[in-house]
Amino acid sequence: MSDYGHDLVFGSFVTPSADNPDRTVGVAVLAEQVGLDLVTFQDHPYQPAFLDTWTLLSFVAARTNRVHLAANVTNLPLRPPAVLARSVASLDLLSGGRISLGLGAGAFWDAIEAMGGRRLTPGQGVRALEEAIEVVRQLWDVETRGGVRVDGEFHRVVGAKRGPAPAHAVPIWLGAYKPRMLRLTGRRADGWLPSLGYLQPGDLTKGNAIIDDAAQQAGRSPRDVRRLLNIAGEFSAVGRGPLNGPAEQWAEELAELALEEGVGTFILGSDDPDDLRRFAGEVAPAVRELVAAERDRGAAAERTPEPEPEPVAAPPVRASRATATGGAFAVVPTPDDGVRRSEQQVWDESTRPTGPEPDPERAYTPQEQATGAHLVQIHDGLRAELAQIHDLIEQVAAGEIDAGAARSHINTMTMRQNRWTLGVYCESYCRIVTTHHTIEDQSLFPRLRARDPRLGPVVDRLEQEHHVIHDVLEGVDRALVAYVGSPDGLAELRAAVDLLTDALLSHLSYEERELVEPLARLGIA
């Protein structure tokens, strides 16, 4: 098992097609809008059907604000490293620190040679790449006195002035498959970027071992090398094979790659807008939750046991369910303050079922209480994002931003992209017509019902409220769209957000009230 503990990153691999440049740029912009972290383009300067990758990267950088950008990977034999270093640093400065440098030793040598490049053997390509990395790093190192000097077999720089320095520490990722390239990755690179389609079973494990060994021999930590992976697949209603099935199957397979093979960045090769939306809105949040839950369990198992204080039994008398977490159970659900902004009601709160009363003699360890505390923390994040929505609406009203920008921001928020939280898992209903079971339906909900059937009515109600909240979010989106066309619709927009506030805050309080104690009692982590 090789989980390097990297934060998970999700990106797109967009075809730089010259046939329809507007669509190419539009797909890249959409990747940012749906919430992906990274946009990449292949770099084949000899391919007349493609836009020039560095020109395209610059254009997309100007059309986006948040997403990171990279060539996947740069064709080094046709891009002199000293000039490339200044190109990367310049674009990083212009984009606010959003550029990464993917590098390859070269392929398609007939085409490279036809464009004026030098044909190299595989061994020469690796040596030329290592020299190029040295040139690039020296050009960026403005703190060292004197000019850049690399007297290599393939690249010579004799005194070039250093700079400009990039806006941030630009990572260098290598597209590598063979042992020599993998060892170079471990010695000098910040990331390993292969494509899953070019790998055989076991190649990720073997490649990680070579990189780790080379990194350690160079005095580095294996964790210094991020593991990235280009992937491709098909979304379908039923599973037909690896990365060919519903979103939850994708999530489980990618989570396994993250935990077992150390992959920290997944880059989807697709120009289909629906694929990007599902990858960002359904797959990425679920993978993050699955990996976070497994890492939490691993950390708890490896933690050095500490003497625990004697558990204190819960008090035998409870005034109400609101105090059910007093005494030994220290996780306090967030109470519903009863304040309602909207006259509309989306459900009857008086019909909400309740779960079994806690055993007053039950004692809880800190480990058992951690899951409930995590639930409250996630909910606090959703509450904070709700406050952001109110702030965005006020900015729209004051004319500081337009409704289109507000809509784009809301669409990338956790409560819109991520899955609604139940326990340490999350659940999403990104489309009203979604009929397939989510990860929660297949794992957490059955576990809750199986371990305590008395919780069945509560879980059923929470599922129903998730659907209702999704509809309320759609109402906010419709109100924003209407406001774009008619500025007189601000009152309708505020009303939609007020209704969302009432529904969400009420739901989160209900969920915490009913689940923080059962999660601890049933040992569900």
In a 3-state reduction of DSSP, which class is residue 17? strand
Contact by Cβ (8 Å): 506, 349: yes
What is the third-level CATH fold of 349-522? Four Helix Bundle (Hemerythrin (Met), subunit A) (1.20.120)
Query: If you search the block for the tokens 């708890």, which residue do you land on?
Result: 300
Domain parsing of the chain, residue ranges: 9-296, 349-522
Structure tokens that stand for 158 in this block: 């004799």
Q: What is the DSSP string of 452-520?
A: -GGGHHHHHHHHHHHHHHHHHHHHHHHHHHHHHH-GGGHHHHHHHHHHHHHHHHHHHHHHHHHHHHHHH
Contact by Cβ (8 Å): 18, 51: yes
Could you confirm whether domain 9-296 is CATH 3.20.20.30? yes
Partner residues linked to 245 by β-bridges: 235
CA angle 163, 164, 168 (to 5 degrees): 115
From CA 115, how far away is CA 118, in angstroms rounded?
9
pTM: predicted TM-score of the whole model, two decimal places: 0.63
Per-residue pLDDT of the chain (525 residues; tens, 9 = 90+): 589 999 999 999 999 999 999 999 999 999 998 899 999 999 999 999 999 999 999 999 999 999 999 999 999 999 999 999 999 999 999 999 999 999 999 989 999 999 999 999 999 999 999 999 999 999 999 999 999 999 999 999 999 999 999 999 999 999 999 999 999 999 999 999 999 999 999 999 999 999 999 999 999 999 999 999 999 999 998 888 999 999 999 999 999 999 999 999 999 999 999 999 999 989 999 999 999 989 888 776 665 554 444 443 333 333 333 333 334 677 888 999 889 999 999 999 999 999 998 887 888 887 778 777 877 877 777 777 777 777 777 776 776 666 666 655 565 555 544 433 322 222 232 232 232 224 444 556 667 778 889 999 998 898 888 888 888 888 877 887 777 666 677 788 889 889 989 998 999 899 889 988 888 888 775
Fold match between 9-296 and 349-522? no
Task: Give Cα separations from 177 to 119, 195, 198, 284, 503 (angstroms).
Answer: 19, 9, 9, 26, 51
Structure tokens that stand for 229 in this block: 């992976």
Q: What is the DSSP string of 232-277?
A: --EE-SS--BTTEE-HHHHHHHHHHHHHHH---EEEEE---HHHHH
